[in-house]
Structure formats: structure tokens, C-alpha cells
């Protein structure tokens, strides 16, 4: 059993006593700044390794080494008493009762995707609500997946529903409401969707962006421009208030509560976006940046909640395919892909891009960074230029290697 520290830069989990990460990050400095998350690593009675975030324990600070030691001590006692697999509560608790407990947790209520989480768990409860949690086996969950598939549901939807159930079971395990056998049953169920098979590749070109701006209502133009120039998520943009925008410093400061991953971000404002934001009038009665201006019969002054219809109409006029399930179709979230890709093409360091967009792992950055035909051509051109520029040196090196052999 051991305590691990997670590097805030590369996210590698390593011995908590390490002072320097392999990526060069100063871990001592990061620990003092409360940027190092702690994990405990222990072996289950069946011999399998288990890694658990300290933050998953109710009431414990994920950035505190003292709390990490408390979590480790708790698991040591359970292991010594052979109680990791022996939790009595689950022998009587139904899936519906566990759901009510989970959705009532204050920390869960603050999650940005709480409404979606509730919908997913409600759907799973239609199948397992009255079942005792410990009686649910992997085969039951796999049958659920198969039935949902026959009903015509997308793999992503099914994975989201099972994923919500897994998140609940993990939290219940951390709070000793279910045991290891139940935890294993849910963990053994594989996702329907193959890894990155649903990763979108659509990039909105600058010319397409300009076309859409011509056909969009004024309030939607502002929102589209913000997404294009910052890579912010739609929810982050629509909930943006003026107190988080500094035109003087040219920054947007998002607090942890404003972001999906619950981490604060500082987003720079470029010239193009600065001109857009400067042109938006501020309302006296509402601090939201993006408000309806009475377009299409809308009552003026209300915060904008959704721009799908405006975006769909503009795409139709600009002859740009629209929709997630349309071939080469564009959706607002593709602006995040576009921002990542254009920043990378502009030569911006990947670590800086990740800091702006809030991608916490290299895997997620790669998912949002699209390698296109232009990148491949550029790679071949550079390769060819290297050969042409250094052909004589290359030949000499080859000759020297040949002589040595």
C-alpha cells in the first residue's frame, strides 16, 4: 500500500516523496501551491491492484498529504480486518435507494453535468431500481447494454448510462456502502464505443466562419466569435458574466465553478474577440454577457440559453452541413477542435494550449487536435527539404557507416 502524487503538468502518478517529476515539474513547489492530487495504491484480497483518489473519500482534501495518510490508514484497517469485500449495507440496499443517496450528495449536486447524470441514472433505475445492488452481476449489465442497443440507442448513450452507474458505485464503495465484489461487477462491463471512435474531425475554416457570421443574428454572432477565438465550451460561454471579462487586461477569468473539470482558467482575448466584446452593450438589469436583443420575437434582456436553431439556419444559408449525425456536419463544439488545431498549426506549445482550453490530459488534447491533409503535406515537404539540403552530408554519413562495417 502506498500514497502516490499526481504531477499537475503531465499527470503521471508517482511516489509522493518525489521532488521532481520526469517531465521537469518541480513537485515540491506544486505541493506547496496545492496543485498535487494524491492517490492511494493498494492490493485487493483477490490480488488485483486498486488505485483510489483521495478526493473520492467524503470530507477529505485531494491536495492534502495528511488526508492522503488518513485515507491510506482507513484502507489498511479494512484490509487487516478483511472488510474490503465485506460490506453489509449493500446486502439490503436497492439500486434506487443508492441512487437517491448519491444524487443527494452536495458535491454531486455541484457537478456541471448533474442534470444529465440524473437522467442517465433514472433510465438505469427503470431496469434495476428494485434490485438489491449486490445481486447485479456483469451479465445483467451486459444484457442491459444489448437491450438498449436493440431499442436503437447509440453506443455513446448506452456508455453514458452505464458510466453514470459506475460513478455512483465507485462513490458508494469509497463510503463503505458497497463492497469489492459489487465494484468489480460494474468495472468488468466494457464500453460499447471503441476508444476515440466517436472523436469528431470537423474543423471550421476561417472562410466558413466568416460565412456563418453573415447569416447569424447579432447575439449569436457574438457567441460564435467567442467560441472560435477561445475554444471555450458552449456552457462556459452562455453563462459568462461581465465580472469575469477584463477588456483592459484582455483576459477572461473562469472560476472553478464555471468549468466542466472544476478547475479555474485564464483565457487571453485576441484582437478579433476584443473588437467583438467591445461592441456588446451592457445591460443594467443583468450581468450576463450574451443577452437576447428582441430578435425573432424574443423578450429583450433575457440570457441566451441555446443557439442551435440560429446556427442551423445560418449553416443552411451558407451551404455548410449541420448536425452531429450529418456527414461533415458542423456543431458548435467543433469550434473547440478548430481552436486546438489552429493554435497547434500556429506553433503554440501544446502545454500552453492545454492550459487555455482546460484539457487535463494529453489524451484529451490529441482528441481535439486534428491532423489534416495539409499537415501531412507539410510533413512530407519538410522531409524532402531536409533530404535536399543535407543530401551530401547524408551520403557521407552513409559511406562512413559502410566503411566501419
Q: At 116, which CATH number?
A: 1.10.150
Q: Does residue 254 belong to any structural domain of this protein?
A: yes
CATH number of the domain at 227, please. Answer: 1.10.443.10
At residue 88, the pLDDT reads 47
Backbone angles phi, psi at 250, to 5 degrees: 60, 50
| Same domain? 110 vs 221 | no
Separation CA 311–CA 323 (nearest Å): 10
Question: What's the total number of domains in the chain?
Answer: 4
The answer to whether position 42 is within a domain reads: yes
pLDDT digits (tens, 9 = 90+) for 336-353: 888 888 888 877 777 778
Residues 232 and 351 in one domain: yes
Helices (H), ranges, 151-262? 155-174, 180-187, 206-215, 218-230, 234-238
The residue among 68 and 300 whose pLDDT is bigger is 68
Domain final residue pick, 22, 56, 80: 80
- Listed range (171-180, 239-248, 385-394) with the worst mean pLDDT: 385-394
Q: Specify whether 364 is located in the same domain as 379.
A: no
| Model confidence band, residue 86 (pLDDT cutoffs 50, 70, 90) | very low
What is the rounded average pLDDT of the residues 312-332? 90
Find the domain containing 35 and state its range. 2-80
In this structure, are 224 and 360 located in the same domain? yes
Residue 177 and residue 94 share a domain: yes
- Distance of alpha carbon 383 from its chain centroid, rounded? 35
Q: How far is CA 289 from CA 39, 152, 214, 220, 348, in A?
A: 39, 40, 21, 12, 28
Which of the residue ranges 166-180, 234-248, 339-353, 379-393 would you say has the lowest mean pLDDT?
379-393
pLDDT at 126: 93
Asked whether the beta carbons of 172 and 56 are under 8 A apart, the reply is no
Q: Which of 62, 80, 98 is the last residue of a domain?
A: 80
Q: Does residue 367 sit in the same domain as residue 222?
A: yes
Both 280 and 236 in a single domain?
Answer: yes
Report yes or no on 197 lying in a domain: no
Same domain, 266 and 348: yes
pLDDT of 45 strictly over 50: yes
Which pLDDT value is given to residue 404? 41
User: What confidence tens digit (pLDDT) does each residue in 99-113 have?
Assistant: 999 999 988 888 877
CA distance linking residue 291 with residue 305, whole number of Å: 9
Q: Is position 265 within any domain?
A: yes
Domain match, 130 and 265 both:
no
Please state, in angstroms and rounded to a whole number, the distance separating the CA atoms of residues 3 and 68: 7
Pick the range with the lowest mean pLDDT from 25-34, 180-189, 240-249, 259-268. 259-268
Task: Give the model's pLDDT for residue 367.
Answer: 54
Residue-wise pLDDT tens digits, 193-241: 776 555 567 888 889 999 999 999 988 999 999 999 998 999 999 999 9
Whole-number pLDDT of residue 405: 40
* CA separation for the pair 174, 50 (Å, rounded): 12
Name the average pLDDT for the chain: 81
pLDDT over 70 (residue 63): yes
Are 213 and 311 in the same domain?
Answer: yes
| pLDDT confidence of residue 338 | 87
User: Do 155 and 219 fall into the same domain?
Assistant: no
100 and 174 both lie in a single domain:
yes
Residue 223: CB atoms within 10 Å: 25
Neighbour count for residue 156 (Cβ, 10 Å): 14
pLDDT digits (tens, 9 = 90+) for 252-288: 999 888 887 778 888 888 888 999 999 998 888 889 9
| Residue 194 belongs to some domain of the structure | no
Going by C-alpha positions, the residue among 24, 182, 29, 223 that lies closest to residue 95 is 182
The answer to whether residue 200 sits within a structural domain is: no
Q: Which among 30, 48, 80 is the end of a domain?
A: 80
Asked if residue 230 belongs to a domain, the reply is yes
Does residue 201 fall inside a structural domain? Answer: no
Q: What percent of the chain has pLDDT over 70?
A: 79
Amino acid at each position: 500500500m502506498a500514497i502516490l502524487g499526481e504531477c499537475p503538468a503531465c499527470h503521471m502518478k508517482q511516489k509522493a516523496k518525489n521532488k521532481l517529476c520526469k517531465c521537469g515539474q518541480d513537485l515540491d513547489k506544486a505541493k506547496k501551491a496545492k496543485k498535487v492530487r494524491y492517490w492511494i495504491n493498494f492490493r485487493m484480497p483477490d490480488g488485483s491492484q486498486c488505485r483510489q483518489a483521495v478526493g473520492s473519500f467524503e470530507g477529505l482534501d485531494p491536495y492534502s498529504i495528511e488526508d492522503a495518510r488518513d485515507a491510506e490508514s482507513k484502507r489498511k484497517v479494512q484490509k487487516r480486518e478483511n472488510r474490503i469485500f465485506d460490506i453489509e449495507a449493500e446486502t439490503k440496499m436497492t439500486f434506487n435507494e443508492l441512487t437517491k443517496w448519491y444524487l443527494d450528495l452536495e458535491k454531486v449536486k455541484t457537478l456541471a453535468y448533474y442534470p444529465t447524470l440524473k437522467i442517465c441514472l433514472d433510465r438505469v433505475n427503470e431496469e434495476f431500481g428494485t434490485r438489491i445492488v449486490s445481486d447485479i452481476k456483469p451479465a445483467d449489465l451486459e444484457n442491459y447494454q444489448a437491450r438498449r442497443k436493440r431499442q436503437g440507442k447509440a453506443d455513446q448513450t448506452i456508455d453514458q448510462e452505464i458510466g453514470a452507474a459506475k460513478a455512483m458505485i465507485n462513490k458508494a464503495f469509497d463510503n463503505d456502502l458497497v463492497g469489492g465484489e459489487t465494484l468489480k461487477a460494474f468495472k468488468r462491463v466494457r464500453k460499447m464505443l471503441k476508444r476515440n471512435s466517436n472523436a469528431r474531425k470537423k474543423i471550421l475554416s476561417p472562410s466558413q466562419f466568416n460565412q456563418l457570421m453573415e447569416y447569424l443574428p447579432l447575439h449569436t454572432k457574438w457567441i460564435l466569435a467567442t467560441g472560435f477565438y477561445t475554444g471555450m465550451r458552449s456552457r462556459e460561454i452562455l453563462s459568462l458574466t461581465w465580472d469575469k471579462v477584463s477588456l483592459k487586461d484582455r483576459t477572461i477569468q473562469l472560476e472553478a465553478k464555471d468549468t466542466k473539470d472544476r478547475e479555474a482558467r485564464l483565457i487571453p482575448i485576441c484582437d478579433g474577440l476584443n473588437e467583438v466584446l467591445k461592441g456588446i452593450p451592457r445591460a443594467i438589469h443583468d450581468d450576463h454577457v450574451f443577452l437576447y436583443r428582441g430578435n425573432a420575437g424574443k423578450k429583450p434582456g433575457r440570457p441566451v440559453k441555446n443557439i442551435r436553431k440560429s446556427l442551423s439556419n445560418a449553416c443552411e444559408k451558407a451551404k455548410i452541413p449541420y448536425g452531429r449525425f450529418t456527414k461533415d456536419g458542423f456543431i458548435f463544439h467543433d469550434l473547440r477542435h478548430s481552436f486546438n488545431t489552429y493554435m497547434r498549426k500556429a506553433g503554440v506549445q501544446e502545454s500552453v494550449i492545454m492550459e487555455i482550453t482546460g484539457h487535463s490530459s494529453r489524451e484529451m488534447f490529441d482528441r481535439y487536435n486534428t491532423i489534416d491533409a495539409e499537415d501531412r503535406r507539410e510533413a512530407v515537404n519538410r522531409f524532402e527539404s531536409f533530404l535536399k539540403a543535407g543530401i551530401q552530408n547524408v551520403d557521407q554519413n552513409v559511406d562512413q557507416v559502410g566503411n566501419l562495417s
